[in-house]
Chains A and B, each alone.
Chain A
Amino acid sequence: MAALKQRSGLETLGGVARNERRAVVHPSPSPDLQAACMSFPQYLVSNYDDLLLSARDHLFIVVISIVLGTLVALALGILTYRSARGRTIALGVTGTILTIPSLALYTLLVVFGLGLGTKPVVVALTLYSLLPIVRNTITGLLGVDPAIVESAQGMGMGRWQRLFRIELPLAWPVIITGIRVSTMVVVGIAALGAIVNGPGFGALIFDGLRRIGSPVAVNLALAGTLGIVLLGIFIDGLFILLTRATTPRGIRD
């Protein structure tokens, strides 16, 4: 959290030596000038630890949002999957949220008193993550063979036992796929959080936008974009491992 606060200002990006450790290692009289002359690889090397911090912050807000979103979406899915009307409402509402432009949603959340920084970003990302998880929770639960559920019922398992011991474990591969899709969506949208001072790679891109025309703008935009893409690939890899680790052996392909 300390890092988030430290990094929350837009103006700190792009060359001012806000990290004292780096300033000691690379004493530089004119960071702006130096940055302007750097090629992209040079830029990466000299801003290595800043970029890692951006990656960490970006990952952090994504993880928080997805964990919150998963909890909310699972609850929504579980509560609604058995009724056609409930499903329509849950999917309609979460689907509508996804149509709100992120720029508008961020702005609205700030206007409604969440302030600048991490908070509005996490709330917005949580809302955006809902649809794929709700949809896959419903699809997964409806896809469980009714004969299996009936035999569980016939053995005397109550409603919640059936849900937690039979239905959710069997629907899990579908649900986690939804979480994975949501994560990918959110990794991208998180970048736009920079307009409300959100942390992460978005700040680099916005800084690049502000300095358009100067050579450093390319480096900033490129580093931000590449960072997001690499982070996406990294998270996707994690999901492959997570899916394998959490899918019961009897239903793995």
Chain B
Amino acid sequence: MTDNAGSTAMIRLENLSKTFPRQSEQAVEELTMEVPEGEIVILVGPSGCGKTTTMKMINRIIEPTSGRILLQGEDVTKVNPDLLRRRIGYVIQQIGLFPHMTIFSNVATVPRMLKWPDDKIRKRVDELLDLVGMDPSRYRDRYPKELSGGQRQRVGVARALSADPPVMLMDEPFGAIDPITRERLQNEFLRLQEEIRKTIVFVTHDIDEAIKMGDRIAILRERSVIAQYDKPEVILSAPADDFVADFIGSGASLKRLNLARVRDYELAEWPTVGFDDDRTTVLAALRGSDMGSVLLLDEQRRPQRWLQASDLARDSESLSDVGLPADALVAPQATLADALNEMVRSQVGCAVVVDARGVYRGTVDMSIIMAAAETMRQSARAESIAGLGQPADDSPSPVRERQPEQAES
């Protein structure tokens, strides 16, 4: 059992406790948990439960009072903390970019401390900026104050990844960002994680974010005592106790939509036309469907406008000027909850799915959501019945194809 744990756990915390000076009560009490390699583990709990303290003990920003921290099987409780921290990426809510340094210097900080050769650093920084979706030639020499909040967050992630650490600690990394940008950054980060497969400990107080981002969620109560540590779908369908159920709150079935990704479902088709099509073709397309509108795509097949029959009355206007702008776009890795949200905002009652380059892929409509909700309800019911016998089991998830390998373990 110990051998097995040693090979799969990237981080292992053993009886970790923290008592702050001049405080009688422990902030963290005898915490033991394992973080499996390549997973996002979320520490979530009410404010003051010790989740941030727990995370900061992993890179020893806060030194534990007692207990051990093992990183890749190595006891790092007593090693030089500065050297330890260069092996662990760290992203905090305020991002903490160095305002007096360029984006390049910010991202290059750890490689420089590790004394990498200059050309290797240069290549690495460009690669990372590319990875987080920022054009290196455009942003390399800028300063943090010249970037938007979302861009700073991306640079913060790039900086944490600079020396390719196996482990990342993220303390409410999307907390200080407006909801719309946050949504996008969360999706981008999940896409990125599929590529980089880091072991991530992620702290948040937001259960919805936890459900969306986590491969596993540890729900903590006071003094960082684990109330439940399991996959999100199990926590949602079979909360361990009243504390967990209260913390998840009402609307667990709506929250389950956060676990389903658009790309895992067959998309609906919407009639589309191109710029080159003449009005007769457009009218034919309109008549050929019962949707009441068609989607106008540009040469690269990117959605542009919603056209209705009434928009075609005047011949003089170009197709690109009439109708309504095509908004309510979602990415394939967006959740069904995102799609539902966009759908409600949309003028035509559906969310348009586009890939990373903005190319039209299909639409999500209400019938897809309803069907997905029904499937999830059934499997959740099955799981909670199974869960009565053996709580926190690892039965395969019906909707999350991301983790088949855990299901086998």
- For the complex, is B90 an interface residue (Cβ under 8 Å from A)? yes
| B144 part of interface (Cβ distance < 8 Å) | yes
Do A250 and B94 contact each other (CB < 8 Å), given the known contacts A156-B83, A170-B100?
Answer: no
B92 x A154 contact (CB < 8 A): yes
Give the contact stretch, choosing among A3-11, A74-82, A144-152.
A144-152
| Cβ distance A142 to chain B, nearest Cβ, rounded Å | 17
A148→B98 contact, CB < 8 A: yes
Chain B residues in 8 Å Cβ range of A152: 96, 98, 109
* Among A149, A170, A249: residue with most chain B CB under 10 A: A249
A19 interface hit (Cβ, 8 Å): no
Q: A249-B143, A250-B102, A250-B144 are in contact. Are A150 and B83 (CB under 8 A)?
A: no
Residue of B nearest to A158 (CB): B82
Query: What residues of B have a CB within 8 angstroms of the CB of A161 in the complex?
Result: 113
B113/A156 in contact, CB under 8 A: yes
Distance in Å: Cβ of A84 to nearest Cβ of chain B: 15
- The answer, yes or no, to whether A55 is at the interface (CB within 8 Å) is no
Select from chain B the residue with minimum beta-carbon distance to A170.
Answer: B100
Q: Assign chain A's interface to a size class.
A: 20 to 34
A153 in the interface (beta carbon within 8 A):
yes
Residue in A closest to B87 when the chains form the complex, CB atoms: A156
Complex CA gap A148/B156 in Å reads 11
Decide: B109 and A155 in contact? CB cutoff 8 A. yes
Cβ-defined partner of A250 (8 Å) among B85, B88, B100? B100
Q: Is the pair B92, A150 in contact by a Cβ cutoff of 8 Å?
A: yes
Q: Is the CB of B85 within 8 A of A153?
A: yes
- Find out whether the CB atom of B92 lies under 8 angstroms from the CB atom of A151: yes
Question: Interface residue tally of chain B, by bracket?
Answer: 20 to 34
CB distance from B57 to the nearest CB of A (A): 13
**A150-B61 contact given A155-B109, A156-B110, A250-B102, CB 8 Å threshold:** yes
Candidate in A148, A155, A170, A248 with the most chain B CB atoms within 10 angstroms: A155
Say if the beta carbon of A169 comes within 8 Å of chain B. yes
| Chain B residues closer than 8 Å to A148, beta-carbon distance | 94, 96-99
CB of B101 within 8 A of chain A? yes
Instruction: Tell me, rounded to whole Å, the shortest Cβ–Cβ distance linking B377 to chain A.
Output: 42
Q: Does B154 contact A (CB under 8 A)?
A: no
19 contacts between A and B (CB under 8 A): A145-B96, A147-B92, A147-B96, A148-B97, A148-B98, A150-B61, A150-B92, A151-B90, A153-B85, A154-B61, A156-B81, A156-B84, A161-B113, A170-B99, A250-B101, A250-B143, A250-B145, A251-B99, A251-B145
Nearest 8 CB-CB pairings of A with B: A151-B96, A154-B90, A250-B143, A248-B100, A147-B94, A156-B86, A156-B85, A147-B96
> Given A169-B100, A250-B102, A250-B144, 19 more contacts at CB 8 Å?
A148-B94, A148-B96, A150-B92, A152-B109, A155-B90, A155-B109, A155-B159, A156-B82, A156-B83, A156-B86, A156-B110, A158-B82, A170-B99, A248-B100, A248-B101, A249-B100, A250-B100, A251-B100, A251-B145
